[in-house]
C-alpha cells in the first residue's frame, strides 16, 4: 500500500462518504422492511393459531391485519405493506404451480375436465350478471365469480392483481376473501353430509367436493373425511380448478387491459404478468418430474406463507368502516354463485357428464 492510499484509508471524510453510500444501497430494503416484518409477524401468529386451534388461516390473518389498520396511515410501514400486498402476493400465486402436473389432469378423463371448465365459465358469467342486477359494479361480479369458481381466496388475490386499482378495488378484494373463506369453511362441514344423503360413490363424491368447495385445504379436509379414494379424486379435481387460474387471469388481463394501460401507462402493462408465466413454467417443470418431492413440499409451504402474508397486508389496508359501506349485496352475490356451482356440478354428475 502506498503512502497516498494509507492516508486516504485513514481520512475521516472517506468513512463519511462510505456511510452515505451504504444507506443509499440499502434504502429500498430499509423502506420496505418495517411494514413487511409486521405482515410476516401476523402470518406467523395466525398460522400458529390455526394449526393448534383450527380454523381458516387466511381469515385469521385478514382479521388480525384489519385491527392494525392504523399502520396504513403511518408512513414508515406503508411501503412494506404495499410490497407484501402486491409483490409477495404474486410470488405466492406463482408458486401454486408446483402442486399441479399435466399427468394429474389427464388421469381425470374428459368428464371432470368438462365439468370444471363449464363450472368456471358459467359461474364467472353468472357473477357478472347478478352483480349488474344487484346494482354492484362489474369488477365485483367478476372477482367473486372467479374466486367461487376457481380456488377461493387464492383466486381472488390472483385475479385482483391484474384488475384496475380503482377506489373500491381493495374493498372488493377484502369482501371477496372474507365471503369466500367463510362459505368454503361452511361447505367443508355441510357438503360431506350432502354426499351421504345423496349416496354418492367415492369417485362421484370426489368430483362433487373438488368441483364445488372453494379453497384447497377445505377440499382436502372434506374429501379425506369421507374416504381415501374420495380424498384423492377431490384433490385432483380441485387442482384442475386451480389450473383454470391461468386462462382466467389471461381473460381478465384482456378485459381490463385498456383500463390498466390508462392507469399505469402502456409501457408498464405486459401482455402476460410475470407471476402467471412463472406459474405455467412450474406446472411444466413439475410435470416433467424435475422438481424433487422435498422441493415441491417446500415451495408449497412457501406459497402458503406468501399468501398469508399478503392477505395480512390487505387486512392492514382495509378498515371496518369501508366494509360496512358495502352492505348485504356482495353476501347475496357470493351465496348465489356458490349455490349455482353446487347445483351445476350435481347436474353434471346425475346426467353422467362428469363420468365420461
Which of 195-209, 271-285, 320-334 has the highest mean predicted lDDT (pLDDT)?
195-209
Contacts of 64 (CB under 8 A, 6+ apart): 42, 45, 46, 312, 315
The pLDDT of residue 17: 44
Q: Of 19-28, 46-55, 338-347, where does mean pLDDT reach its minimum? A: 19-28
Average pLDDT over residues 78-85: 88
Average pLDDT over residues 27-43: 88
Average pLDDT in the chain: 82
* CA angle (215, 243, 141) in 5-degree steps: 60
Query: What distance in Å separates the CA atoms of residue 154 and residue 158, rounded to the nearest whole number?
Result: 6
Would you say 181 and 58 are in contact if contact means Cβ atoms under 8 Å apart? yes
Confidence of residue 132 (pLDDT cuts 50, 70, 90): very high
The pLDDT of residue 256: 82
Query: What distance in Å separates the CA atoms of residue 91 and residue 84, rounded to the nearest whole number?
Result: 10
Between 65 and 272, the higher pLDDT residue: 65
Would you say 241 and 210 are in contact if contact means Cβ atoms under 8 Å apart? yes
Which of 24-28, 72-76, 252-256, 290-294 has the highest mean predicted lDDT (pLDDT)?
290-294
Confidence of residue 24 (pLDDT cuts 50, 70, 90): low
pLDDT tens-place string over residues 101-118: 878 767 777 888 899 999
DSSP summary character for residue 2: -
DSSP summary character for residue 327: -
Between 319 and 46, the higher pLDDT residue: 46
Contacts of 347 (CB under 8 A, 6+ apart): none
Is the pLDDT at 6 greater than 50, yes or no? Answer: no
Is the pLDDT at 343 greater than 60, yes or no? Answer: yes
Query: What distance in Å separates the CA atoms of residue 168 and residue 238, rounded to the nearest whole number?
Result: 30
Average pLDDT over residues 291-301: 91
Is the pLDDT at 336 greater than 90, yes or no? Answer: yes
Q: For the CA atoms of the chain, what is the radius of gyration?
A: 23
Name the nearest CA neighbour of 155 among 295, 54, 252, 256: 252
Residue carrying the nine cell digits 389432469: 105
Query: What distance in Å separates the CA atoms of residue 166 and residue 92, rounded to the nearest whole number?
Result: 23
The pLDDT of residue 149: 94
The pLDDT of residue 20: 47
The pLDDT of residue 327: 72
Would you say 127 and 141 are in contact if contact means Cβ atoms under 8 Å apart? yes
CA of residue 248 relative to chain centroid, distance:
13
Is the pLDDT at 183 greater than 60, yes or no? Answer: yes
Contacts of 168 (CB under 8 A, 6+ apart): 137, 139, 140
Is the pLDDT at 340 greater than 90, yes or no? Answer: yes
Would you say 131 and 332 are in contact if contact means Cβ atoms under 8 Å apart? no
Percentage of the chain lying above the pLDDT 70 cut: 85
Confidence of residue 41 (pLDDT cuts 50, 70, 90): very high
pTM across the whole model: 0.73
Q: Of 112-121, 179-188, 208-217, 256-265, where does mean pLDDT reach its minimum? A: 256-265
Average pLDDT over residues 198-210: 92
Would you say 222 and 234 are in contact if contact means Cβ atoms under 8 Å apart? yes
Q: Which cell is 93 given?
A: 400465486
pLDDT tens-place string over residues 218-270: 887 788 888 878 887 888 888 788 888 889 988 888 888 777 666 555 444 45
Contacts of 55 (CB under 8 A, 6+ apart): 49, 185
Q: Which cell is 348 given?
A: 353434471
Host H or E run for residue 8 = helix 3-10
Confidence of residue 328 (pLDDT cuts 50, 70, 90): confident
Name the nearest CA neighbour of 315 among 41, 63, 47, 84: 63
Amino acid at each position: 500500500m502506498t503512502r497516498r492510499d494509507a492516508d486516504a484509508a485513514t481520512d475521516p471524510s472517506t468513512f463519511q462518504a462510505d456511510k452515505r453510500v451504504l444507506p443509499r444501497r440499502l434504502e429500498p430494503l430499509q423502506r420496505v422492511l418495517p411494514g413487511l416484518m409486521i405482515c410476516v409477524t401476523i402470518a406467523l401468529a395466525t398460522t400458529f393459531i390455526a394449526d393448534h386451534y383450527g380454523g381458516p388461516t387466511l381469515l385469521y390473518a385478514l382479521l388480525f391485519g384489519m385491527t392494525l389498520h392504523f399502520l396504513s396511515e403511518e408512513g414508515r410501514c406503508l411501503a412494506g405493506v404495499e410490497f407484501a400486498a402486491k409483490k409477495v402476493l404474486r410470488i405466492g400465486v406463482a408458486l401454486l404451480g408446483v402442486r399441479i402436473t399435466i399427468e394429474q389432469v389427464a388421469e381425470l378423463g374428459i368428464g371432470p375436465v368438462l365439468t370444471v371448465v363449464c363450472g368456471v365459465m358459467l359461474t364467472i358469467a353468472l357473477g357478472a350478471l347478478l352483480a349488474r342486477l344487484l346494482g354492484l359494479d362489474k369488477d365485483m361480479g367478476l372477482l367473486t365469480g372467479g374466486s367461487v369458481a376457481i380456488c377461493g381466496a387464492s383466486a381472488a388475490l390472483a385475479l385482483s392483481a391484474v384488475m384496475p386499482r380503482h377506489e373500491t378495488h381493495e374493498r372488493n378484494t377484502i369482501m371477496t376473501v372474507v365471503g369466500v373463506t367463510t362459505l368454503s369453511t361452511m361447505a367443508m362441514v355441510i357438503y360431506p353430509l350432502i354426499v351421504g344423503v345423496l349416496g354418492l360413490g367415492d369417485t362421484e363424491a370426489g368430483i362433487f367436493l373438488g368441483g364445488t368447495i372453494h379453497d384447497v385445504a377445505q377440499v382436502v379436509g372434506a374429501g379425506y373425511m369421507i374416504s381415501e379414494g374420495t380424498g384423492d379424486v377431490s384433490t385432483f379435481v380441485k387442482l384442475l380448478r386451480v389450473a383454470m387460474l391461468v386462462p382466467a387471469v389471461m381473460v381478465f388481463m384482456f378485459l381490463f387491459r385498456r383500463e390498466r394501460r390508462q392507469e399505469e401507462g402502456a409501457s408498464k402493462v405486459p401482455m402476460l404478468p410475470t407471476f402467471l408465466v412463472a406459474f405455467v413454467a412450474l406446472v411444466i417443470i413439475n410435470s416433467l418430474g424435475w422438481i424433487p418431492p422435498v422441493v415441491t413440499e417446500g415451495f408449497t409451504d412457501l406459497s402458503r406463507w406468501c399468501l398469508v402474508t399478503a392477505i395480512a397486508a390487505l387486512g392492514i389496508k382495509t378498515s371496518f368502516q369501508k366494509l360496512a359501506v358495502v352492505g348485504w349485496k356482495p353476501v347475496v352475490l357470493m351465496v348465489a354463485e356458490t349455490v349455482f356451482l353446487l347445483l351445476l356440478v350435481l347436474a353434471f354428475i346425475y346426467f353422467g357428464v362428469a363420468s365420461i
